[in-house]
Amino acid sequence: MNAEVQRVVITLPALADYVDIVRLNLYGIASKMGFSYEDIEDMKVAVSEACNNSVLYAYNEQDGMVEVVFEVHRDLLSITVRDEGEGFERVASSTSRMTLHDKELHDVGIGGLGFYLMEALMDEVSIENETGRGTKVVMTKRLMRTEAKV
């Protein structure tokens, strides 16, 4: 790993009450990096969706943990949300562009809209999961610097 990359790792119980802690940490890190308010709000929605999927579906109401890793690079922020709970069935692979245009709302699987939302709000999203071995969502947002910022 590059020496310029800084990592912040948070491990939390897979409970809805703790998702706010992840959003607060994201806000602190992203604002320090110079992301715009709009980009930070987009990232907060995306990370909330990833965390909520772990909270709602990973552990079948059993105790479990969610690990969130923020990797701070010079020009981008990578956020990984990982759980060790039950995986989920993904209808389409993330390598093909998914679209809701040809689907009725009731045809979208549980948690399906959250993944569309993450992909719409972030620059890159990858999802790895194995039944019974957990899910890992990696989301990346590039920092766009404008001439006005120094």
pLDDT higher for 148 or 51?
51
Calculate ∠ Cα 119-114-72, nearest 5°: 50
Q: Where are the domains of the chain?
A: 6-142
Q: Which CATH class, in words, describes the domain spanning 6-142?
A: alpha beta
Among 110, 125, 57, which residue's Cα sits nearest to residue 85? 57
pLDDT in the model for residue 103:
44
Tokens at 94, concatenated = 């993330």
The yes-or-no verdict on residue 93 having pLDDT over 50 is no
pLDDT in the model for residue 97:
42
pLDDT in the model for residue 37:
96
Give 2's pLDDT tier (boundaries 50, 70, 90): low
